[in-house]
Amino acid sequence: MEFKKIVFVAIVVSIMAIPSKSFTKMERLEKTGNDELFDKIITKIMQFGRIPAVSAAIIKGNNVTWKKGFGLYDVENEKEANKDTIYLVASISKTVTATAIMQLYEKGCFKLDDDVNKYLPFILRNPEYPNKPITFRTLLAHRSSLAEDPPAFYAYIPGDFPLPDYPYPWLREYLVPGGINYKPQVWTDKPPGYEMNYANVGYAVLGYLVQSLSNQSFEDYCQKNIFELLDMKNTSFHLSGVNISRVAVPYVLRDDKLYPLLQYGIIDYPAGGLRTTVIDLSHFLIAHINDGIYNGVRILSKDSIDEMHKIQYYGNNRYNFDYGLGWQIWKRGGKTYIGHTGGLYGVATKMVFRKSDNVGIIYFMNRGVDGVKEWIAFSLIENLLFWKADGMKISQLPSIFKIEEVMNENRNLLPKDYKLNERSIYDVINSLRFNIASKK
């Protein structure tokens, strides 16, 4: 705690130490409403974090009040990012899968506390607790006793899933003892409902339940009941469902060089395979902000929206966020933030709104959070977007770099084995301060 205070003071002093001429210019920009200052800072943050492209939007109530792209979404072909650039958004996908499940719940297809085995062609049970049912609610809230995915779970292929045997019988072979792909570590040693474990495969099961209950493919259901209703024309769980020439190339950093990855699919695509734009996703967020309605079209009832945005379980949670039904929930500075992060190879994303005033932001970048620089850059972009949404007051600029917030934000996107070094965090932010203050 003492270290955090020291670093916070150092950052504030550093920012305030930018030459007075720069602040005079900043104040002039603020008075004229010019976006030059904002664009300079976000560009510097991107350069610092080696982020090729960012697309972002700000939402207030029913409206998108700002949207823009920065950098190159395809470096090799010099394609510039904009509001219509399509990104793989990773775990933001869970909010869509949960919305589909809640629509079927509203149609009376099941109850939230029903045992999902009533609707599956195989028995889903933690082998250590064979008499404890796994419910829709526990799957949606990551409390089913499925464990965080073991390394063997992750499978990526060029292009699209599904494969012919996915999701069934693949799920049975992966989750049921005796299955070809079964590993005991897919389950925890705690009963369902006891503790939170962020299990992507639980959302693969939910995607399959959407398919089983609706008698449609998961993609077709989402297109007809969510994307078409919300005018999300550039959105799909399949790469083949979008214009690939507009899809951001994912990049990784190796030996201080950026390398492009092939466009890929993931085996649990209901948990993380959605591709969309910030504009399309803003329609979805507006519906959730406004009790289930976008542009006069209702996709869910207010009661269902409230239930999704409510913390479902308290206690036994080692994460820096709580969870509703498909939505992450953060408490910061006495305020509640609701949304979801997303992270995969070559992508990092966030969609979040502030409950107190229904101000939301969405931003996607085509670099993953592989280390401390990208993590800090990702968190600072979030702070910068809320700063812009709140009027870009120069007096509030140092708060963007507030160490307590940066340290606590988005840590779930870091690799699980990444060890944070306090000194390195200080050095990174100090370096960024000089970068932003430079005249280049």
Residue 3, number of CB atoms within 10 A of its CB: 13
Whole-structure pTM value: 0.89
Q: Say if CB 133 and CB 174 are below 8 A apart.
A: no
Q: Hey, where are the domains in the chain?
A: 1-50+393-440, 52-366
- CA 11 – CA 7 distance, rounded (Å): 6
CA angle (99 as vertex; 98, 103 as ends), nearest 5? 115
pLDDT of residue 434: 59
Q: State the sign of the Cα–Cα–Cα–Cα dihedral 87, 93, 99, 101.
A: positive
Structure tokens at 273: 């395979």
Q: Which residues, 6 or more positions from 303, have their beta carbon under 8 angstroms from its beta carbon?
A: none
Residue 203 in tokens: 């959302």
Query: Please, are residues 269 and 166 in contact by the beta-carbon 8 Å criterion?
Result: no
pLDDT at 18 (0 to 100): 40
Residue 190's alpha-carbon distances to 124, 194, 326, in angstroms, are: 15, 6, 21
In whole angstroms, what is the distance from residue 45 CA to residue 50 CA?
8
At residue 116, the pLDDT reads 98
Q: What is the pLDDT of residue 292?
A: 98
Residue 436 confidence (pLDDT): 65
> What parts of the chain have a pLDDT lower than 50?
1-24, 26, 29, 31-33, 439-440
Distance CA 57, CA 66 (A): 6
Selection from 320, 329, 332, 420 nearest residue 376 by Cα: 420
- Token reading at 121: 């062609």
Three-state SS string over the chain comes to CHHHHHHHHHHHHHHHCCCHHHHHHHHHHHHHCCCHHHHHHHHHHHHHHCCCEEEEEEEECCEEEEEEEEEEEECCCCEECCCCCEEECHHHHHHHHHHHHHHHHHCCCCCCCCEHHHHCCCCCCCCCCCCCCCEHHHHHCCCCCECCCCHHHCCEEECCCCCCCCCCCHHHHHHCCCCCCCCHHHECCCCCCCCCCCCHHHHHHHHHHHHHHHCCCHHHHHHHHHHCCCCCCCCECCHHHCCHHHECCCEEEECCEEEECCCEEECCHHHHCCEECHHHHHHHHHHHHCCCEECCEECCCHHHHHHHCCCCCCCCCCCCCEECCCCEEEEECCEEEEEEEEEECCEEEEEEEECCCCEEEEEEECECCCCHHHHHHHHHHHHHHHHHHCCCCHHHHHHHHCHHHHHHCCHHHCCCCCCCCHHHHHHHHHHHHHHHHCCC
The answer to whether the CB of 196 falls within 8 A of the CB of 319 is: yes
- Distance in angstroms (rounded) separating the CA atoms of residues 261 and 264: 8
pLDDT at 161: 67
> Nearest-CA neighbor of 206 among 76, 90, 349, 103?
103
pLDDT value of position 162? 66
- Other CB atoms within 10 A of residue 18 CB: 16
- Please name every residue paired with 86 in a beta bridge, in sequence order, or none if there are none: 247
Are the C-beta atoms of residues 377 and 48 closer than 8 Å to each other? yes
Which of 350, 345, 277, 273 has the alpha carbon at shortest distance from 96? 273
- The single-letter code of the amino acid at 76 is E
Q: pLDDT digit string (tens) for 375-423?
A: 889 999 999 999 999 998 888 877 777 665 666 667 667 666 666 555 5
The predicted structure's pLDDT at residue 375: 87
Q: What are the beta bridge partners of residue 337?
A: 330, 354
User: Options 2.60.40.10, 3.30.365.10, 3.40.710.10, 3.30.70.100; which CATH number does 52-366 get?
Assistant: 3.40.710.10
Look at residue 22 in the predicted model and tell me its pLDDT.
46
Query: Phi/psi of residue 229, each to 5°?
Result: -65, -30
* Nearest-angstrom CA–CA distance, 293 and 319: 31
Contacts of 93 (CB under 8 A, 6+ apart): 203, 237, 269, 270, 271, 272, 273, 274, 342
